Structure 1
Amino acid sequence: MDSAWITWARITASTLTVLLKIPTGTGWRVRLCTGMCRAAWRHVGSRMQQLKKIDKVLPEIMICGRSLDIFLDDIERFHGFTSPGLVLGGFMVDWAQELIGLDVEADAVVETCHCLPDAVQIFTPCTIGNGWLKVLDWDKFALTLYDKRKLNGYRIWLDLKKTLLFPKIYNWYMRRVPKKNLSLEALLEEILSARRSVLSCRAVQVTRMYGRKKKGNIEVCSTCGEAYSTSQGDQCITCQGEGYYSI
């Protein structure tokens, strides 16, 4: 076994021993951590091979101020994997930012719950938590960035007519082909080749869904004793039988 792997494994094993209070027998700890390290390295190697293949067919590009490898890495770190919808969403955010200007304090509206909200949260300051991002469950692959004071901005959407020139993208979005028959690598290559050419944009004036949602008055629920917004009624939603869990 490579001595570098042994050293790394022993250091990792020692760290785990301290943090997790693992018994001090070294053999199985080294084997376990070596396996973990090798698995991580295989993942990195696979990712590098994927990037090399894509780089062969693409010129150097910048997306949302990031190089391609950093762009993909940010997506995977935040979202858990390299989602095609999120990669496409990155190009949508990039175009919207270019149109509205990076010096404009912008809010965002996204028209689907799937993948696209994460593109806004990764590549802009707008998040669900800070109230600058509104997510509409309309299942339309579209987003709008707009000036939060003037309410004018740009709506970017996936244009299905344009995707007809890119059959992998069309078949993926319209679910014409099972996922097992459409490799992620091939789909990503087509998305990264198509970029903005499958998108359309339009200047818009936002008339609804803007501004942060204000909290209602807070009271204590007479049934469960928890604080809740009185906009829900005399009891909290859960105690009215509309909760999402049972005990």
Structure 2
Amino acid sequence: MDELIEKIRDPMLRAQAEKVAAFHGYLSPGALVGIQMFNIARKMLNLSSCERIFVTSETCNCLPDPFQVLAKATVGNKGLKIEDLGKMAVTINKVGLAGCRTQAVRIVLDPAKTKRFPRLHAWFMKSCKVSHDEVVSILLEAGESVYTWEAFELEVPERPRKKIAICEGCGESFIQMESEPLCKTCLEPSNNREPSPSNNPSLEDLLCPRS
């Protein structure tokens, strides 16, 4: 994989790949997709090198990591939100004032376009096993040609007022959004304190297989 990174001709893309690989553990195909999506967003939204963005990733696997490294958009600083819909897609928007509209773009790895690269399409649709090195090489060759994106404007929501309350059920403190007396764990019987298994193992195996 290091040899693949060294073969990247574009100095900026190579530097991005090195940073993401160091953070993610290696340059997985999903991580490279994230890098390419980030670069499309930079162009479409005319982003400066240090401009803050907000990212909504539609998968929890691999794809969000490049945005954490390259854009400093993390779950902790509220720059990254993950809605695990099992899709290779992200929405990126610029910072805006609450109640105002701001520029955004949704980018998706398009199966109609990956068909032009049979081995990449086979990996994407998981119809046969394709090595990571081969997929990364094809993605580097394909560049932006396998993506579809749509620019639009979205309204920046008001930040909800919140306060800390003590749950009447478990006695623990929680962020109270309205006037609810119970935390979400106690309010919803289906909730429990044990981590739930992934509901999308096929995508996880595809992007970040366990060796």
**Matches of 1:183 and 1:108, distance apart in 2:** 29
2:20 is matched with which residue?
A: 75
Contact 2:166 2:172 in 1 (8 A): yes
Whichever residue aligns with residue 89 of structure 2, its letter is: A
Q: Secondary structure at the match of 2:81?
A: strand
- Partner residue of 1:124 out of 52, 66, 71: 71
**Matches of 1:223 and 1:141, distance apart in 2:** 39
2:145 is matched with which residue?
A: 197
Q: CA deviation at 1:117?
A: 1.7
Q: CA deviation at 1:139?
A: 2.0
Residue 138 (str. 1) matches residue 85 (str. 2): yes
Aligned 1:139-158 pairs, distance under 5 A? 139-149=86-96, 150-158=101-109
Contact 1:155 1:203 in 2 (8 A): yes
Whichever residue aligns with residue 22 of structure 2, its letter is: R
Contact 2:160 2:177 in 1 (8 A): no
Q: Secondary structure at the match of 1:151?
A: strand
Q: Deviations over 1:68-88 (max 9, x none)?
A: 1x3233222222332201101
- Partner residue of 1:229 out of 150, 175, 179: 175
**Matches of 1:171 and 1:193, distance apart in 2:** 16
From the CA coordinates, give the structure whose radius of gyration is larger.
1
Aligned-residue CA RMSD in angstroms?
2.6
Whichever residue aligns with residue 25 of structure 2, its letter is: G
Q: Deviations over 1:189-222 (max 9, x none)?
A: 1111111111122211224xx5586463211234
1:95 is matched with which residue?
A: 40
Residue correspondences, number: 186
- Cα gap change, 1:84 to 1:212, in 2 (>3 Å): farther
| Higher relative contact order, chain-length normalized (CA < 8 Å, sep 6+) | 2
What TM-score comes out, normalization by structure 1 length?
A: 0.65
1:243 is matched with which residue?
A: 192
- Partner residue of 1:164 out of 100, 115, 118: 115
Whichever residue aligns with residue 202 of structure 1, its letter is: E
Contact 1:162 1:197 in 2 (8 A): yes
Contact 2:17 2:35 in 1 (8 A): no
- Cα gap change, 1:238 to 1:136, in 2 (>3 Å): closer
Deviates more, 1:234-243 or 1:186-195: 234-243
**Matches of 2:143 and 2:82, distance apart in 1:** 23
Contact 1:109 1:143 in 2 (8 A): yes
Contact 1:171 1:177 in 2 (8 A): yes
What TM-score comes out, normalization by structure 2 length?
A: 0.75
Whichever residue aligns with residue 107 of structure 1, its letter is: F
Contact 1:223 1:239 in 2 (8 A): yes
Structure 1: gaps of 5 or more residues = 1-46
Q: Secondary structure at the match of 1:116?
A: coil
